[in-house]
Structure 1
Amino acid sequence: MGCCKCEEYKWRHPQEPIATDSHGNAYCLFHAPAHLKEGRHEELVNAVRAYIQNSATSQIPISRFIINHQLTGIVFSDTVNLEKLQLSALDISHATFHGDVTFEHSKFSRVTSFENCEFHGRTNFDYATFESNVTFKKSLFNGRTTFYSTEFSAMLSMEESRINDATSIMFSTITGFADFTQLHIDSTITFGMVSFLENLNISKSSIHGTLTLFKCNICEKESSIFYASHISTSKDSNFYITHSTINGMLNFSECEINGILDMSSTIITQRAYFEDSNIGFAKFKNCVIKDLTTFDRVDLRRASFSGAPIENFRMIACRWPTSSGRRLTYDARKLENCGYLKIDNTEALAFPPQKKPDKALPPQHLEDLYRRIKKTAREGMDETLTSDFHYAEKEMQRLRGFQQFRDDWACRHSPDAALPIKERLRGLGLYLTLLCYKLTSGYGEAPGQAALWLLFLTFGAPLIGLLIPPAWCPASLAIPLHIYGANLGDKWLHFLPLVKLPDADAAGWLARFLMLLSQVAITLQAALFGFALRNRFRR
């Protein structure tokens, strides 16, 4: 009876059994479980090297490839050194490495398969060269794995693999298609200074640890695509694409990012699409986008747009954080005495833990951010978003004026130099002006509020002035104290715009001044009402 695994994997050169398990299954030295070949590890390693040498001239057809070295299902019970090997086509799928393994400086000249392998120790592919396709599909990485300066001249696949310990691919080049679909990450996987020449696909991956793309050149061929759709992450996970360049189109759709998505200092040269996704606690600081980036039906309630290239963003039917029913960005939140506005619709969201408390951005920074978002929304014909961010911009401008009046450090030209009195008074003037603008018309966005003030100024203020004059007004001002015999209609009309004021001798200088003030106030309020009404109908 031969080795059961040789028969299962259809080895062209079946090996003699050396042990039998309790179920009567016979195993050769290559396939015997670790506990059945204790003390024979060195013999196994030497046998592997000899097997590779002897099978170098044999060719075994598997699918559409030709396999020279077949080590399918092999079990290594301890550390194994397979460095500096010259291998043609290798099939080492379904292998189990219980100890450390190194393929450092090895050369794989044809198709290589590590499919369904288990790596339980440290795995080293540093300086290895894969001249044809290589696959790690459905493999398990339980130990630290490194690909340092590894050359992939064709396709690399880690589809459906599981990362349970730190894995890094550094200073490497992947010439062909890079397939990392359905990758399950429970630890960290880092791509550092890696060049992806063709398509990169990380779609349908599940991230419960950290996925990092740092200083990578992604999709160097302009016709390539970076697929990042249907990705899901946990609350404590991190997804970093930082200081990298994406030369192809970015497709980021139907993702559920519950942790951090950081795309800081990344350059995107072609169009990017974020569609029907929750992108979590997102950052786009110092990101450079050279084409249009579309956010379509994306949950942006935890996204920070500080330092983001807003001019290249287009938001369509996105979900924003709100304050008093108006949309704004997460940057203005009120959190532990930081920020300025209380956000209404983020209580149920899970936020990633912060190593240090968030620091609020200065109002002038948010004012500039909201002004740019307003400009982008107007260019995209989204008038309702324009309205909300016009309101948010004016709120930040008003707060800036108040901070300037208080001589806040954020408004100083130098941290050690106090603001001159003139600038502080200018800040007070800005604050009071915008406060009046807010109260009388909601910054030109609340026609109902403006209409109430217009009615009050038109009917209420003149009646108060006519019927209840101040006690210090002299009788010579001819302001009647009661309605009977006072010719109220004639007096009331003088408080309305476009009505000629009475002579000062007949009415007195104070009454004339009050009438003039009422006419100016009603005119301004009518203009604000018309402006707010026009904005409401237009938006």
Structure 2
Amino acid sequence: MTCCKCAEYEWADPQEVVYTDPEGKGYCVFHAPLYEKRISNDDFNKRVFERLRESKLFEGSGRFCDLSGVVFPQEIKFQQVGQFPKVRFNSACFEGFADFSEVDFGGFALFKETIFSQGASLSEAKFNGVAYFGKTEFRDYVYFNSIKFNNRSVFSRVEAVYGIDFTDCVFGGKSNFESIDDGKCKFHFFNCIISNSGIDVIGCNPKTIDFINQYDITNIHFINSPWEKNGCIEACTEGKKDLLQPTRDFYQRMKAKYKAENNEYEASKWHIAEKEAQLKLLWREAKDWSLCPWTQEQGEDQEYFQWEDVRSGSRWLGGKASEFLTCFVLWLYKVSSGFGEKPVRGLCWLLLLLVLPYFFPGDMREYIPLMQRNIANASSVLKSFEMAGWQLLITIQAALFAFALRNRFRR
């Protein structure tokens, strides 16, 4: 009698039964339930290592070391195996911590529907063959720092309770991140090296992937992974105040990436996202009065006001006024033309500025540029300022409309 799971997973070498369940199904030591192994954890791990070493003898035949469906009862460390052969961990369940750190995967490494219940580490591992993680579940912390993917790697419908941090990893081959759903996993990229083969983000919700600390994004491509939500781009970090500036910088890098690719349509979207983040950042800084020198506590032997306090306070107040002015101008740029990307909005404001003089006292042509009305002949100084100011507004808005229209046609 051989193990029912060996037959289910089509093992080339079915194992002897060590446990029979109440339904009469037999299980080998590898597939037996957690508390029915009938051997110690150390002995079980030795069996696994022996199976991996024996499989190296058949590497030339293309045979895999099949560990599909294996139930690992406790912690296991794979460093002593040396270089791994082609290996399948499909549908395996790690009930203890799985330590693959510094492991050298010599060939294919398949983790389809694998469950890691108590965490895992693949730090400094090396994948020389295809690395496949499909519907893999990480139910505790997992460590992916400094991994080298020297061949193709695929992450499809992966679920990770605490997310996955790719820190200082090297993606030497083509990499795909597919169908990553919101709430199931969040990937964070930190200072990774990505080859010209690139990373394709396919059919994902981009808010589940954090690239703000990934400075080289030249070879990252988004396929059927729309960033827009409610008509605008918003990264997963934009709502976090302490990450607003890095998020703005990420938007700048994305805009530069698409400009380098001559993709003006996408560059336009990222331009708007960058300016929106910049506006939020400027407003946050402008309304922050925590560094006002006049509100700082004075020393016990120091008079409340000194000339240095007045000078430093004046400089601070000038800087704060400049911040408010910059924020206001950027807000006007948004309202009047959508940061130079919304020609319809620019046209609406231009028509409004042209129509409103009908309701002003006097001849409406006095307020419209190029209508041959001399401002110097105005009835009063105030009147001349009104005429000049309104003509200037129309001129600026006409320029913004033309700029936005030009950008739209260029897209």
**TM-score, normalised with respect to structure 2:** 0.74
Would you say the 8 A contact 2:375–2:387 is kept in 1? no
CA distance in 2, matches of 1:166, 1:182: 18
Deviation string for 1:152-179 (max 9, x for gaps)? 8886735322336443225335424241
**Cα pair distance change 1:465/1:420, threshold 3 Å:** same
Matched residue of 1:387: which SS?
helix
Partner of 1:495: 367
CA distance in 2, matches of 1:64, 1:246: 30
Partner of 1:515: 387
Amino acid at match of 2:170: I
Q: Does 1:430 align with 2:339?
A: no
Partner of 1:347: none
**Cα pair distance change 1:64/1:397, threshold 3 Å:** closer
Q: Does 1:443 align with 2:339?
A: yes
**Cα pair distance change 1:267/1:132, threshold 3 Å:** closer
Deviation at 1:321, TM superposition (A): 5.2
Matched residue of 2:270: which SS?
helix
2:270 equivalent among 389, 397, 402: 389
Q: Structure 2: any 5+ residue segments left out of the alignment?
A: 4-10, 20-26, 298-311
**Rg larger in structure:** 1
Deviation string for 1:337-386 (max 9, x for gaps)? xx3xxxxxxxxxxxxxxxxxxxx434222211211122223334443432
2:109 equivalent among 179, 182, 201: 201
**Cα pair distance change 1:504/1:281, threshold 3 Å:** same
Higher relative contact order (CA 8 A, sep 6+): 2
Deviation string for 1:223-258 (max 9, x for gaps)? x3332253343xx73573522221412321543436
Amino acid at match of 1:494: E
Higher helix share: 2
Deviation at 1:496, TM superposition (A): 2.5
Deviation string for 1:406-431 (max 9, x for gaps)? 2367999xx99999323322221221
1:299 equivalent among 191, 202, 205: 205
Would you say the 8 A contact 1:367–1:397 is kept in 2? yes
2:359 equivalent among 460, 464, 473: 464
Q: Does 1:123 align with 2:27?
A: no
CA distance in 2, matches of 1:281, 1:408: 38
Q: How does 1:278-317 map to 2 (within 5 A)?
A: 278=180, 280-291=184-195, 292-317=198-223
Deviation at 1:510, TM superposition (A): 2.2
CA distance in 1, matches of 2:96, 2:337: 53
Q: Does 1:246 align with 2:148?
A: yes
CA distance in 2, matches of 1:173, 1:266: 25
**Cα pair distance change 1:451/1:503, threshold 3 Å:** closer
Partner of 2:98: 190
Matched residue of 2:186: which SS?
strand
Partner of 1:112: none
Deviation string for 1:283-313 (max 9, x for gaps)? 3342312313222333323222231235234
Would you say the 8 A contact 2:206–2:226 is kept in 1? yes
Would you say the 8 A contact 2:32–2:71 is kept in 1? no
Deviation string for 1:80-120 (max 9, x for gaps)? xxxxxxxxxxxxx93489999xxxxxxxxxxxxxxxx9466
When the two structures are aligned, how many residues end up with a matched partner? 372
Matched residue of 2:370: which SS?
coil
Would you say the 8 A contact 1:200–1:218 is kept in 2? no
Q: Does 1:402 align with 2:297?
A: no
Partner of 2:304: none
Q: Does 1:527 align with 2:399?
A: yes
Would you say the 8 A contact 2:31–2:71 is kept in 1? no
CA distance in 1, matches of 2:377, 2:32: 108
Q: How does 1:340-351 map to 2 (within 5 A)?
A: none
**Cα pair distance change 1:511/1:172, threshold 3 Å:** farther
1:73 equivalent among 16, 38, 42: 16
Matched residue of 2:106: which SS?
coil
Higher strand share: 1
CA distance in 1, matches of 2:174, 2:289: 40
Partner of 1:24: none
CA distance in 2, matches of 1:425, 1:166: 63
Matched residue of 1:228: which SS?
strand
Would you say the 8 A contact 1:196–1:218 is kept in 2? yes
Deviation at 1:443, TM superposition (A): 1.5
Matched residue of 1:160: which SS?
coil
Deviation at 1:209, TM superposition (A): 2.7
Partner of 1:94: 28
Partner of 1:277: 179
Q: Structure 1: any 5+ residue segments left out of the alignment?
A: 10-62, 66-70, 77-92, 101-116, 136-151, 334-338, 340-359, 467-479, 481-490
**TM-score, normalised with respect to structure 1:** 0.58
Partner of 1:504: 376
Partner of 1:262: 164
Task: Please give the root-mean-square deviation of Cα atoms over the aligned residues, in Å.
Answer: 4.2
CA distance in 2, matches of 1:184, 1:369: 38
Deviation string for 1:451-500 (max 9, x for gaps)? 1101111222x22333xxxxxxxxxxxxx3xxxxxxxxxx3333223344
**Cα pair distance change 1:238/1:496, threshold 3 Å:** farther
Q: More deviation in 380-389 or 370-379?
A: 380-389
Deviation string for 1:126-163 (max 9, x for gaps)? 7997597446xxxxxxxxxxxxxxxx888673532233
Amino acid at match of 2:67: E
CA distance in 2, matches of 1:363, 1:452: 32
CA distance in 2, matches of 1:379, 1:501: 47
Would you say the 8 A contact 1:191–1:216 is kept in 2? no
Q: Does 1:324 align with 2:230?
A: yes
Partner of 2:256: 375
